Amino acid sequence: MKPSADSGAKQGLSGRRAFLGLAAVGAGGLLLAPGVHLMEVAQAAAPGTAAAGANPKVRWGLLIDTRKCASGCTDCVNACNTENGLSGGTTPTDAQWIRKIEIKALKTGHSASLPVMCQHCAEPPCVDVCPTGASFKRTDGIVLVDRHSCIGCRYCVMACPYQARSFVHEPLTGQKPEVPRGKGCVEGCTLCVHRIDKGGTPACVEACDRAGHHAMLFGDLNDPDSAISQRVREVATMQLRADLRLDPGVRYQGLT
Amino acid sequence: MRRSTLARRAVAWLLLAGAACSGAALAQSTVAGRVPTPVIEKARGESCVAEPAFMRRNHMDLLKHQRDETVHRGVRDPRSSLKGCIECHASSATGSVAAAPTDFCASCHSYAAVKVDCFECHASKPKAAAVLPANHPAHARLAALWRSLPAVGAVAR
């Protein structure tokens, strides 16, 4: 008369199996309608076409040799402004992704000139305080702002001990296609992520090398064979405000 | 009598609306009465990443998906990126997808009354915006498009 509880359970199970089978077929190549595939699934299947994206095994970092960084030289700053479409202004309301600072040890009188940008911390306080998740750390260690979800609250600007974040106050025009920027969003050094994703190096590093200073070294801190890893192993380097234990990815040589 | 005229008019409107929706790659801008239809300039490249009908309905979802992939995961596939769209669809005259009311994104979005925020941050022009020589045939085509759109053209000019 009635199907037993046991057979009902079996039917339920086989129904679920059929559904799972269908789901597996769908996952293989998601069919939205006859002949219409979700684009990204089709592309993921094609080898060599899509870029691999951020590699979680990598930790991108910079090593800045302050002994080679001349006081008054702004090649890296200019390159950053050109690459990212920044105005180059230095008023409090202008976006500055990288600044040159002069420091002097009061007791010894030792002075140094160095560029300071987002230090791409392993434990970024800007990410901790962001209420929308717009401030985030990529798996390869680059700290970024997702402008799509940034609401412009500027908590991260307050949280950053390096004053590396800027806020865009005015409407912008003429942005670079690679670097979208807009009013109402916080922004900062991206380590030229659009270049890194294509296998390139940040514009500041390239400009410094091109000018023959060779004061900036970019590379993977996780790869023991990379030039930057070998250098930080051989020479004494330091992180700015290491006492905060944020583990910045930018290191400095020649500071005492 | 009056009723049949109305019915015929209604049918004509429907046909026009249908024609507007099923526009070919280069839709002729037909101005029937007071209803302007979007001007769709022919894109560069052989074909879009998906069927036009699919793109019309779903381009926003594809773009949103791609933006998260790119910003958070660093996947920069030019085929499905906004930059990729712009490279094919930028107007041959203005070099942009949103500068003039007849440009690709602007024409449909103003027609559908959907505000497009993308270009407050994103560049609406491809990297090397081609400057058209004065005798380029695209100028004549754009001029024709302008003429056929008196209402929109008058506002823009």
Residue matched to tokens 């046991």: A6
Whether the per-residue pLDDT at A160 is higher than 90: the answer is yes
The per-residue b/e assignment along B120-153, b for 16 or more CB within 10 angstroms, e otherwise, is bbbbbbbeeeeebeeeeeeeeebeebbebbeebb
Using a CB–CB cutoff of 8 Å, tell me whether B63 touches chain A: no
pLDDT digits (tens, 9 = 90+) for A170-206: 999 999 999 999 999 999 999 999 999 999 999 999 9
pLDDT digits (tens, 9 = 90+) for B138-147: 656 666 666 6
Of the candidates A139, A143, A129, A146, which has an alpha carbon nearest to the alpha carbon of residue A181?
A146
Using a CB–CB cutoff of 8 Å, tell me whether B88 touches chain A: no
Cα-based angle A6, A7, A10 (whole degrees, multiple of 5): 95
A147 Cβ neighbours under 8 A, 6+ residues apart: A134, A180, A181, A182, A185, A187, B121
Please check whether residues A28 and A124 belong to one and the same domain: no
Residue B27 lies inside a defined structural domain of this protein = no
Q: What is the pLDDT of residue A5?
A: 44
Residue A227 lies inside a defined structural domain of this protein = yes
Cα-based angle A49, A51, A56 (whole degrees, multiple of 5): 145
Considering only residues 134 to 153 of chain B, which have any Cβ-Cβ distance to chain A shorter than 8 Å? none
Chain A positions in Cβ-Cβ contact with residue B96 (cut-off 8 Å): none
Residue B74 lies inside a defined structural domain of this protein = yes
Using a CB–CB cutoff of 8 Å, tell me whether B75 touches chain A: yes
Number of structural domains (chain B) is: 1
Residue A52 lies inside a defined structural domain of this protein = no
What is the complex's ipTM, to 2 decimals? 0.75
Chain B positions in Cβ-Cβ contact with residue A148 (cut-off 8 Å): 67-68, 71
Please check whether residues A123 and A220 belong to one and the same domain: yes
Residue A54 lies inside a defined structural domain of this protein = no
Amino acid at B136: H
Q: What is the pLDDT of residue B32?
A: 57
Number of structural domains (chain A) is: 2
Q: What is the pLDDT of residue B37?
A: 80
B152 DSSP assignment: H
> Closest Cα of chain B to A132: distance in Å?
14
Residue A55 lies inside a defined structural domain of this protein = no
Whether the per-residue pLDDT at A145 is higher than 50: the answer is yes
Please check whether residues A202 and A240 belong to one and the same domain: yes
Residue B62 lies inside a defined structural domain of this protein = yes
Residue B11 lies inside a defined structural domain of this protein = no
Question: Contact A36/B123, CB-based, under 8 Å?
Answer: no
> The tokens of A200 are what?
């390139």
Q: What is the pLDDT of residue B139?
A: 59
Chain A positions in Cβ-Cβ contact with residue B65 (cut-off 8 Å): 40
Of the two residues B122 and A26, the one the predictor is more confident about is: B122
Please check whether residues A99 and A22 belong to one and the same domain: no
Please check whether residues A132 and A108 belong to one and the same domain: yes
Q: Closest chain A residue to B82 measured between Cα atoms?
A: A177
Question: Contact B50/A144, CB-based, under 8 Å?
Answer: no
- Per-residue confidence at A45, pLDDT binned at 50, 70, 90? very low
Per the prediction, chain A carries an average pLDDT of: 86
Of the candidates A136, A172, A178, which has its C-beta nearest B72's C-beta? Answer: A136
Please check whether residues A69 and A123 belong to one and the same domain: yes
pLDDT digits (tens, 9 = 90+) for B106-124: 999 999 999 999 999 999 9
Residue B128 lies inside a defined structural domain of this protein = yes
Residue B145 lies inside a defined structural domain of this protein = yes
Beta carbons of A206 and A81 less than 8 angstroms apart: no
Using a CB–CB cutoff of 8 Å, tell me whether B99 touches chain A: no
> The tokens of B7 are what?
């019915």
SS3 A192: coil
Cα A46 to Cα A29, B9, B91: the distances in Å are 12, 51, 30
Residue A112 lies inside a defined structural domain of this protein = yes
- Give the integer Cα–Cα distance in Å for B96 and B124: 5
Kindly report the CATH number assigned to the domain that includes residue A137.
3.30.70.20
Please check whether residues A66 and A16 belong to one and the same domain: no
Q: What is the pLDDT of residue B34?
A: 81
Q: What is the pLDDT of residue B119?
A: 95
Please check whether residues A107 and A206 belong to one and the same domain: yes
Residue B12 lies inside a defined structural domain of this protein = no
- Per-residue confidence at A223, pLDDT binned at 50, 70, 90? very high
Whether the per-residue pLDDT at A4 is higher than 50: the answer is no
Domain membership of residue A13 as a residue range: 5-45
Beta carbons of B119 and B98 less than 8 angstroms apart: yes
Cα A134 to Cα A150, B66, B87: the distances in Å are 5, 16, 28
Q: What is the pLDDT of residue A175?
A: 94
Using a CB–CB cutoff of 8 Å, tell me whether B38 touches chain A: no
Whether the per-residue pLDDT at B39 is higher than 60: the answer is yes
- Give the integer Cα–Cα distance in Å for A166 and A163: 8
Please check whether residues A232 and A128 belong to one and the same domain: yes
Using a CB–CB cutoff of 8 Å, tell me whether B50 touches chain A: yes
Of the two residues B73 and B139, the one the predictor is more confident about is: B73
Tell me which of B77, B82, B89, B116 to substitute to probe the interface with A (most A C-beta atoms closer than 10 Å): B77
Residue B147 lies inside a defined structural domain of this protein = yes
Please check whether residues A112 and A178 belong to one and the same domain: yes
Whether the per-residue pLDDT at B33 is higher than 70: the answer is no
Q: What is the pLDDT of residue A52?
A: 77
Domain membership of residue B106 as a residue range: 38-156
Q: Closest chain B residue to A33 measured between Cα atoms?
A: B54
